Amino acid sequence: MLRIDICNEHGFPLDEGRLKKAVRAVLKESGFDGGEISIAVVDDAEMHALNRKYLEHDYPTDVLSFVLDEEDSRLDGEIIVSSDYAAREAKIYNWTAEDEILLYVIHGSLHLVGHDDQDAASKKLMREQERKHLLSFGLVPSYDEKEVS
């Protein structure tokens, strides 16, 4: 069984069922059918602090993800997304901040199952996976393939 918990202390408007469905789809496709995934929706200040603490980056980002444990078909992990970042980016890409958060959750889930986006080839594959999962919600991202996240 896969348990997904969402902490949204700032009361950012979310369809939690949609986020959980996205995480389940990404994990299932990668062979994970059990575990515990937490999703935290934070503001830029908290994301900045987390970036500084864990990645030594002195700025906020859109999403962070951490694998806590992985064994056979079980995965435990955390996905942290910035609602402030999403609100800004949504305006640029002409969709809602809630859709942008969904993208971040999908992106973070893909990282949890082993995808990365550190070089052009892996980034292309990551974008293809994002597009596929977003399409299942009727969404098509408008970001450019060459853009760096």
Q: What is the pLDDT of residue 144?
A: 54
DSSP H or E run through 98: helix 97-112
Residue 8's pLDDT is what?
94
- Residue 137 to residue 96: CA distance in whole angstroms: 13
Predicted TM-score of the model (pTM): 0.93
Q: What percent of the chain has pLDDT above 90?
A: 85
The string of pLDDT tens digits covering residues 48-83 is 999 999 998 999 899 999 999 999 999 999 999 999
pLDDT for the residue 11? 87
Q: Per residue in 50-59, is it b (16+ CB within 10 Å) or e — as a string?
A: bbeeeeeeee
CB 109 within 8 A of CB 69: no
The whole-number pLDDT of residue 142 equals 79
Q: Are the C-beta atoms of residues 98 and 15 closer than 8 Å to each other?
A: yes
